[in-house]
Amino acid sequence: MVGSPTSDVVHRHAICAPSRGWVLPLSEAPDPAFSSGALGKGVAIELLDDLLCAPCAAKVVAIAKARHAITLELPGGAQILVHCGIDTVALNGAPFTIMVEEESQVSVGDPLIRVDLEAVTRAGKSLATPVVLIEPANTRLEIVSGEGLCVAGDPLFTLRSMKASSADARPDEAYSAQCSVVLPNPHGLHARPSAAIASEAARWSGPIAVALEGRSANARSATALMKLGATHGAELTIQSGGVDAEQALAALTSLIENGAGDEINSLQLSQFTETLPAALERKASAPEGSPQGMISGVAAAPGQILGPAYYLQRAKLQLSETSQGKDIELERLRTSLSQLSAHLQSGNDNISAKISAAHRAILNDPVLIDNVEKRVSEGSSAAMAWQAVMSEEAASLRALPDQRLAERADDFADLEQQLLRILIGQKIEVTAPPGSIVIASDLYPSDLQPLAEAGIAGIATMGGGPTSHLAILAAAAGIPMVVALGKPLCQVEEGETTHLNGDTGTLRHGLTTQDQAMLIEEIEQRRAAHKLAGDHADKDTYLASGERIEVFANLGRVADAEEAVTSGAEGCGLLRTEFLFLDRATPPSEDEQVAIYREVIDKFGERPVIIRTLDIGADKPAAYLPLEAEENPALGVRGIRLGLLYPELLKAQIRAILKAAGERACYIMAPMIASVSEVDALRRMLDEIRSELSHAATVKLGAMVETPASALLAPALCKRLDFLSIGTNDLTQYVLAADRMNPEMAVMLDPMNPAILQLINMTAKAGISSNRMLGVCGSAAADHTAAAVLVGLGVGELSANAAQLPELKQHLRSLTLDKCREAARAALASETSVQAREAAMHILTSASKG
Ligand code: PEP
Ligand code: MG
């Protein structure tokens, strides 16, 4: 059921503590006017400070004559009353000084009232200060802070304002509860989370809908949910009705906030998201000057292989168009559905079990099945009705702008085929000769298992995408796969020996015997190199000319530390701490942070662990921070800017890092530095905390160089800091003004662009002349050509994901500093990324041979 929603969530306002104090439930305020909730919902704060500040950005609409209370109006009309103390109207204003004017506009934290605490207490009045939503004006209040100590600026509650989506929209009586939730899933609302939401919704009795931007989907329909096309960060409105509306809402909100079965904690892009831009880049750049017979596609599952091409043909299904009568056709449909559903249960490893569960959810989708049954009732055969509905579903998914969601269309096409085969009693499973490279216009997830069992060597498809379920399954089965090879794939002849490269996303045919011999040797060498790299992973890294290069690991969660150490990490070059701060209602406590940082530091023993302070912002919102949506979150309040705006949050993190390190040296790194004043503020904060804690052990303070300003200001930063680490991911996006999250920009986002190299060169010069540690923790560190150039420019530490370390270390061991410098000079002198890469590669490969 797709219809229009009752309302859209248009704003979320955080209402913060106006002062330091103890937060109490409003029901405990010693005045029935407040405790009964008659004046509105909210909380009370037992004041510990004499200054009351604005809890949100708003207009001052009323100041009580007795100066003890102020009413603020938010955009949209909601009004908040800040009432200083209980029964304080009787004090006739004596203890209060008003610091704003009526009709003035205030920002969060602006002073409102100064209160003489002693005078209030002497007068026998309570200092419990209600902060109450007296005029909801279409808003819904959600308490954020529980009881306990708060400081001014801590979030107390959130107001979600609702606005009628159109002039004639009337509230839908069916829904009595509603709230909004930000979708945390990196791949959006795809099949698996949709299925999880649909099955949770099925447990409740009333109507439940999920709405996005004016469109609403029945929450019990996984397909309708998928068709919303909700991508990561989308603000969904959940609406529920019936006797259990509130419980259903709470259950669904929590399910969605926790990823609905998807891994959402790690901030590192998942392997699939990373594959997409990199692969698109390769697709765009491969053809020019590439060997004859090379077809460029998109890498979907890693590995390379040489084998005979085998065209997989599907027999056309002969469907019966005539209905045998409604009852017979419905019966056949239902039996086939349960047969297919039962067959899908057989997935045993984790990923295929999840995919099977998503497929089962599609088969159990009440809306979808209703549609098919309706067609059957109108006279279609079961087969024709099924085919029509499933191809419509697939077509509407393919039309979605988000590629990852569009790739879910294959799941529908797959189920369409599988059910049709059952309906017509044709049990054909695909097969291919062992060792072959299977070529197909497209393949479905259900094809993978029989093909893997047949022992195929690789898969090449004309269409498809790297995040499809088929690609996930192929990667899990260790079968190299390249997708989106397009029409040129038809040039490959059946049986001809073909080279499939799932690392670069290419397929090469028309190979001479000599080409084949070279490729076999290359593949063998790669296998041997891979093994050698693994065998030497635990050794420190020295260039062939003897210079030490530190190879560190980037971590995005605690669990990464173990893998990093076993992969030979010589330290941690970047601990992304965001995982601790996101997807939760309150910030992590200092103790929780201490425990986590300590666990990571302990894992690394004597080796350095660089902990980056939180890098969140409007693009990665934290529920407990009053962050407004921003037009350009990448250019807004993120990284150090956010830390300095919410100093208590940053201070708690710094305290936790120092405590976790204890007597050991610790390394603190700030993200998104763009000015020296930010560094100065951070240094002051650190010094204050160190003296507060009497912390005497070594603390190295560093900054990420990921804004053009920080690279240009590197000499000034070096004066103030102990180390710099270049974040090439952001540096590239900001220098080239190309959004790193936009796959269309992937072609541009090459850190080997000479413009970026110039900035890295400037940074390196500053680091060298002031003898500061200089590292790179962006993904350029793991790009072998770029890594050599970075070393040539003077970078002494490279930090990459754990899985990339053994080969990176081995690669560095094959280089001399002179060759790296020569490659760097050539790249710097180039005019384009392609030229820079080619020039550097030319020098480096001649080095390894010579
Ligand atoms: C970078 O920007 O290069 C970096 C390492 O930081 P992140 O990817 O976490 O933004
Ligand atoms: Mg960054």
pLDDT the model gives residue 351: 67
Residues 521-561 pLDDT 10s: 989 988 888 889 889 999 999 999 999 999 999 998 898 89
Cα–Cα distance measured from residue 705 to residue 672, given in angstroms and rounded to the nearest whole number: 7
469 annotated active-site: yes
More confident residue, 232 or 598: 598
CA-closest candidate to residue 130, choices 244, 248, 217, 33: 33
The Cα-based distances of 526 to 234, 535, 537, 811 in angstroms read 42, 14, 16, 12
29: pLDDT confidence band, cut at 50, 70 and 90? confident
CA-closest candidate to residue 674, choices 621, 727, 745: 727
| Ligand 1 neighbourhood includes 801 CB (under 6 angstroms) | no
Which atom of ligand 1 has the smallest separation from the CA of 554? 5
Distance from residue 774's CA to the centre of ligand 2 (Å): 16
* pLDDT of residue 163 exceeding 70: no
- Tokens encoding 717: 């930063």
Cα dihedral sign for 720, 654, 619, 214?
A: negative
Distance from residue 827's CA to the centre of ligand 2 (Å): 23
pLDDT the model gives residue 285: 42
Cα–Cα distance measured from residue 826 to residue 422, given in angstroms and rounded to the nearest whole number: 62
pLDDT the model gives residue 633: 87
Q: What are residue 3's DSSP bridge partners?
A: 216
| Ligand 1 neighbourhood includes 262 CB (under 6 angstroms) | no
- Beta-carbon contacts of 587 under 8 Å, excluding residues fewer than 6 positions away, are 581, 622, 624, 649, 652
User: Which residue out of 777, 784, 811, 820 is catalytically annotated?
Assistant: 777
Which atom of ligand 1 has the smallest separation from the CA of 706? 2
Closest C-alpha to ligand 1, atom 9: 576
Closest C-alpha to ligand 1, atom 3: 727
Residues 228-270 pLDDT 10s: 888 777 888 999 988 888 888 888 988 888 888 776 643 222 2
797: pLDDT confidence band, cut at 50, 70 and 90? very high
| Ligand 1 neighbourhood includes 727 CB (under 6 angstroms) | yes
Distance from residue 183's CA to the centre of ligand 2 (Å): 22
User: Which residue out of 68, 232, 359, 469 is catalytically annotated?
Assistant: 469
pLDDT the model gives residue 404: 66
Residues 761-780 pLDDT 10s: 999 999 999 999 999 999 89
Residues 141-158 pLDDT 10s: 877 766 677 778 878 888
165: pLDDT confidence band, cut at 50, 70 and 90? very low
* pLDDT of residue 12 exceeding 80: no
Distance from residue 277's CA to the centre of ligand 2 (Å): 17
Closest C-alpha to ligand 1, atom 6: 727
* pLDDT of residue 160 exceeding 50: yes
Secondary structure string (H, E, C) spanning 509-541:
CCCCHHHHHHHHHHHHHHHHHHHHHHHCCCCCC
| Ligand 1 neighbourhood includes 729 CB (under 6 angstroms) | yes
pLDDT the model gives residue 328: 93
pLDDT the model gives residue 78: 83
pLDDT the model gives residue 214: 80
Secondary structure string (H, E, C) spanning 667-680:
EEEECCCCCHHHHH
641: pLDDT confidence band, cut at 50, 70 and 90? very high
DSSP letter, residue 104: -
* pLDDT of residue 22 exceeding 90: no
Dihedral over alpha carbons 194, 197, 203, 206 (to 10 degrees): -100
pLDDT the model gives residue 38: 65
More confident residue, 733 or 188: 733
Secondary structure string (H, E, C) spanning 200-261:
HHCCCCCCEEEEECCEEEECCCHHHHHHCCCCCCCEEEEEECCCCHHHHHHHHHHHHHCCCC
Distance from residue 706's CA to the centre of ligand 2 (Å): 6
Instruction: Record the pTM.
Output: 0.52
Residue type, 641: R
Report the pLDDT averaged over residues 703-709: 98
pLDDT the model gives residue 504: 85
Give the percent of the chain with pLDDT over 70.
90
849: pLDDT confidence band, cut at 50, 70 and 90? very low
State the ligand closest to the CA atom of 554: 1
**Among 281-295, 486-500, 580-594, 708-722, which is the least confidently predicted range?**
281-295
Closest C-alpha to ligand 1, atom 8: 729
Q: What is the mean pLDDT of the chain?
A: 85
